[in-house]
Structure 1
Amino acid sequence: MRDFTIPLPIARAVLDPVFRVVLNSRLPVAVQRTLLDAVSLLQLMPDGSVVQHLQLGGRPAERIIAEAAIPGSRTRAVPPERAAGAILYLHGGGYVVGSLTTHRSLVARLARESSCAVYSLDYRLAPEHPFPAGLDDAEAAFLDLVDNVGYRPDQICLAGDSAGGGLSLALAQRLIERHQITPAALGLIAPWVDPRLVPDRDRDLVINRPWSLACAAMYLGDGDANEPGYAPLTGKLIGLPPTYVQVDVSELLHDQCTTLVTALRGAGVHVRFTETRGLWHVAQLQAALVTEAALALSELAEFLREAIQPVSIDDLR
């Protein structure tokens, strides 16, 4: 479906009451999930998106590709059948909400702009499945892509937003520590890398302090809050692959992101860092509606594509 754009002030005015209602710690988790799935229907899929339902590591997942490269793409993408890699995408939602449905539009746009196959994982959520269930699922999915789908580890990028960004970082650390394998790159959209930290403000346009604290507690369950898998900002950063971090300056997670970037650079990791102004937490979800969000997502796709460096068949002739 063709995109149509909404001016930033109008988009903010529409989204503010929606997130005030939906991401509310007083609402049952099941209601929050249902409302988010319903609202996500407004996030349009790009033309030419092909969605395949499958299992990865024993969990439901989706593989999304674009049928052909989009003329004029900023990434100069090659057709998907010529791409040499994949992106494993882990959705956000405080480890409590979010789904394949809520992030399908974002994932499809990432597939279009990168010309890679993007695998979106339905990892288990708290409170039914607290830490480390989601991390275990992500690990199993990555290993499935290597052992059964046939990608090399350096052909797979990890990407995610908010809690999914934190989960991506924790997964990269676990893969290096347990399996001595390193993904091609990390693409982190406003990653939540330390749920132990209390936001210093009550809310931004999307998330609020009571909701985030409730999510952190549900995700931890009876676990140890000092476990690096739960708070990957405290884990080992040396040896991580090239990493791109995106965040808006207005977000509650902005300070966490700047702390992460400083720590990554101190550990010798190649980092690209972009701070937007005037957007909101994971505005990339509204890339089909907001030009500025689409540009940010396109830059992320370009970074991941270049990390994988697909080779055109024509270049091999």
Structure 2
Amino acid sequence: MPQLNLPLPLARAVLHPVFRVMLNKTLPFSVQRALMDLGAPLQRAPRGTHYEKVRLGGRPAERVTLGPATDSATLLYLHGGGYTVGSPATHRALAGYLARETGCPVQVLDYRLAPEHPFPAALDDAEAAFLELIAFGYKPERIAVGGDSAGGGLALALAIRLRDKHGLTPAALGLIAPWGDPNEIPERTRDLVINKPWSRACAAAYLGAGDGLDTGYAPLLADLHGLPPTYVQADKSELLHDQCTRLTAKLRAAGVETRFTETEGLWHVSQLQASLVAPAEGITRELGEFLRQALRPAQTRSIG
């Protein structure tokens, strides 16, 4: 059970004004980042979670563990935030829950953010991190890649780059409401968390002078054949639900083993509030179980 089980209507009422203030196009990204880091401690990790600052692929990162953890497998986690905000600090609690469920270290990468570092900086950092994990001794099939929102899109783009450039396949992808195509303009103005003006500003900042049709920027446009078993979750109320539905259909058409979980009554990346809301903890546990099974040794794996 979560450390504090708020009723869903109360949780939504509390979070709505927080996100309206924090993810606001009129605020400089530096201010948004500071606000997110300031509020991060309110999202509590499971008791016993340990954080260690490390370097990965030339970038700062946090290695998150909880209790005895196998060193033969790991999860590379790419945080969300529209490629402009977010950090290992904002995702410590979620990483703690995933470390608990997988029994593996979770490596949360502090990849470079736009607009200071537009595409493909984040993807280059994610690629370098994955390759360094291999250099550390992890086998590619014992490294899962996860991410939420923009981080979910980045995880998908990373898997495509690893396939095309290196002939490598991770153990699995765990995607929470992945932003697979930042070119798309939502029909609605907002959901509980995301609003259209902010998301458009993030998309422009990340693209910079790049090509919007580059599949590293918009991996939903790519050929998805040969990708590893993939978990996708989205709430029916969120702006990215349609993208997630189409991504799932395209993955399945490409022969990728795919699990799609649609929730109703939660919100965009509610897994960040797993310590506050029981249904959010439930879907976080589901993602962790999917990744745990994928990270088992080949002779005992139950998926893939």
Fold shared by both chains (TM-score > 0.5): yes
Tell me, yes or no, if the aligned pair for 1:83 and 1:310 is still in contact at 8 Å.
Answer: no
Deviation (angstroms), 1:5 = 1.2
Which amino acid is 2:32 matched to?
Q
What SS does the aligned partner of 2:45 have?
Answer: coil
Give the letter aligned to residue 36 of structure 1.
M
Say if 2:137 is the partner of 1:150.
Answer: yes
Q: Give the secondary-structure state (helix, strand or coil) at the position aligned to 2:238.
A: coil
State the match for 1:5 in structure 2: 5
- 1:23 matched to which residue of 2? 23
**Residues 146-174 of structure 1, C-alpha deviations (whole Å, 9 max, x = no match):** 01x21000000000000000000000000
Contact 1:44 1:288 in 2 (8 A): yes
Instruction: Map 1:19-98; keep pairs closer than 5 Å.
Output: 19-67=19-67, 79-80=68-69, 82=70, 84-98=72-86
Q: 1:280 aligns with which of 237, 252, 267?
A: 267
Deviations 1:78-99 (A, max 9, x none): x41x463100000000000001
The answer to whether 1:104 aligns with 2:82 is no
Matched, 1:233 2:217: no
Whole-angstrom distance in 2 between the partners of 1:41 and 1:111: 18
Give the unaligned 5+ runs of structure 2: 299-304
Amino acid at match of 1:89: Y
Which of residues 182, 205, 208 is equivalent to 2:169? 182
Write the mapping of 1:97-176 to structure 2, written as runs, cut at 5 A: 97-147=85-135, 149-176=136-163
Percentage of matched positions with identical amino acids = 63
Deviation, 1:242, is 0.2
User: CA deviation digits over 1:208-244, x for unaligned, max 9?
Assistant: 0000000000000000001000000011200000000
* RMSD (Å), alpha carbons: 1.0
- Aligned pair 1:256/2:247, yes or no? no
SS at match of 2:170: coil
How far apart are the structure 1 equivalents of 2:86 and 2:50?
Answer: 21
* Partner Cα distance (2:248, 2:277) in 1: 26
The 3-state SS of whatever aligns with 2:280 is helix
For residues 101-135 of structure 1, the C-alpha deviation after alignment (integer angstroms, 9 at most, x for no partner) is 10010001100111111000000000000000000
Aligned residues between the structures? 297
Cα displacement string for residues 48-93 of structure 1 (whole angstroms, at most 9, x for unaligned residues): 11111110000000111112xxxxxxxxxxx41x463100000000
Q: Which runs of 5+ in 1 are unaligned?
A: 68-78, 312-317
Q: Distance in 2 between matches of 1:174 and 1:97?
A: 23
Q: Partner residue of 1:198?
A: 185
AA aligned to 2:52 is Q
